[in-house]
Amino acid sequence: MQKDANPSISGGYKLADLINLETHEVKMRALSDPLLYEIEMERIFAKTWILLGHETEIPNKGDFVTRDLGSDSVIVTRDREGEIHVSLNVCPHRGMKISTLDAGNTNVHQCIYHGWAFKPNGDFIGSPIEKECMHGKMMSKEELGLKKARVGLYGGLIFATWSIDGPSLEEFFGDAKYYFDTLFLRTAGGLELLGPPQRFRLRANWKSACEQSAADGFHTLTLHRWLAEIGPYAKKPDAEGKGGDLSPEMYGSEVWTDHGHAMRCIELDRKIQRITGKDPSLMSDKEKLTALPPPGITKEMLPEMFERYDEGQLKLMAWRPPQVGGFFPNGLFTFIYLPQPDGTVVGAMALHSYVPKGPDKLEFVNYIFAEKDTPPALKARMLRLSIQMLGTSGLVEQDDSDTWPHQTNAAKGAMGKDITLKYQALFEQGAPAGWPGPGHVGDGFTKDDTQWAWWKYWYELMSATN
């Protein structure tokens, strides 16, 4: 069925009234409108690839977790052959949730209402009192299974989509995959999740968190100013005795794609010079990576890592690696270097998923990772430091999660809903000389291009007619 390219929302407004493609503005009512939210669930969350978890959450046959794929609950399972499946958590008999648990292990998912039973892959097994055939004879058992989503695995991450014939996960990543590969495919053992994900709910629209996740660096200067002022993260005074300045961290390269994925690739030369006392321009990429391994990589893992990447990716990882960025529409990755009081550096690796729960509610889901081959003592330390910094009660997330509800409330005001979000600070130069990767690239002080690309793809999907 052909869809309206400019659907109506509340108050007699149309979708196109919300965004000005020439002046890079988005009206605040986009963060609160209930009709808009329903359209988003159909045109974005039912059509794109959505991050649901990691395969190490369900390592054994019969393991499952329940998650949300947009506005729908789904069961993420591993079957007897080890394959991963994602099925709608709705019984096709009378609409009861099949599983009301967060996680578990079973080879049969049975509805508590009338007892219809299903395999981990969603296939219908049967109903109680088999001789009475209480599922009827009008439809075959093959027609009575759970609705199945399309599953994509990448570096152990589990993605799913209801768009069975749409782009593959790799096509959806597009140019971003070149950069994602340097984060999620570094060792043969791969990543593992350090315990169940943390979760909490906010009274905020999902887009308030997700447009920030599209590599917004500028807010760090003010909202996270403490990073330059206290503890091991404090910036040392310069020759004039001035400290507490985060602005040097705002320089680097930012990458965005036509599908709204984005990342901040932050300069490492200052860190490497401080650690080694050497001029980074005189060091090889492997020497720099040995001096400062990527977050979560130990020096013992480096030889394997060197074999897995081409010269361009190694150059990127040693020079300006992607450290913070987002998967469109609702995922964020953070691979950062945490300096310690003893002068060492510990890596922190986390993913956030901002799950819509209504026009003014979202669930913050936090996944913390380590490479599987990381020594246990270091895993424990990484987990503790990551929770302190990036967890649901972490120092950074206390800042961020305070702003989004304020934005959402302001978007409900009679005057506030027509104020515009502005993305008008744009890069004036492209990729720096020698940049190895694809995509749209801007160089210099952090700008708004990445977030504007997120909104442009949001609008492209929302206005699509098929």
Which domains can be identified in the chain, with CATH numbers? 62-150 (2.102.10.10), 172-462 (3.90.380.10)
d(CA 104, CA 239): 58
d(CA 231, CA 234): 6
Q: Looking at residue 166, what is its pLDDT?
A: 93
Whether the predicted pLDDT of 111 surpasses 90 = yes
The helix or strand, by DSSP H or E, that contains position 442, with its residue range, turns out to be strand 440-445
Tokens of 229: 């002022």
The model's confidence at residue 342, banded by pLDDT at 50, 70 and 90, is confident
The model's confidence at residue 242, banded by pLDDT at 50, 70 and 90, is low
SS3 category, 407: helix
Whether the predicted pLDDT of 439 surpasses 60 = yes
- Phi, psi (degrees; rounded to nearest 5) at 65: -135, 155
d(CA 335, CA 341): 20
Whether the predicted pLDDT of 344 surpasses 70 = yes
- The whole-number average pLDDT for the span 329-355 is 93
d(CA 55, CA 421): 37
- Phi, psi (degrees; rounded to nearest 5) at 307: -80, -20
pLDDT tens per residue, range 134-173 = 788 888 889 899 999 999 999 999 999 999 999 999 999 9
The model's confidence at residue 133, banded by pLDDT at 50, 70 and 90, is confident
Identity of the residue numbered 151? V
- The whole-number average pLDDT for the span 439-453 is 97
- The whole-number average pLDDT for the span 283-295 is 97
Residue 87 vs residue 228, higher pLDDT: 87
Whether the predicted pLDDT of 202 surpasses 60 = yes
- The whole-number average pLDDT for the span 390-408 is 92
* Percent of the chain topping pLDDT 70: 97
Q: Looking at residue 243, what is its pLDDT?
A: 62
Burial of 200 (0-12, 13-18, 19+ CB in 10 A): middle
Tokens of 128: 């109680």
Q: Identify whether 34 is preceded by a cis peptide bond (ω within 30 of 0).
A: no
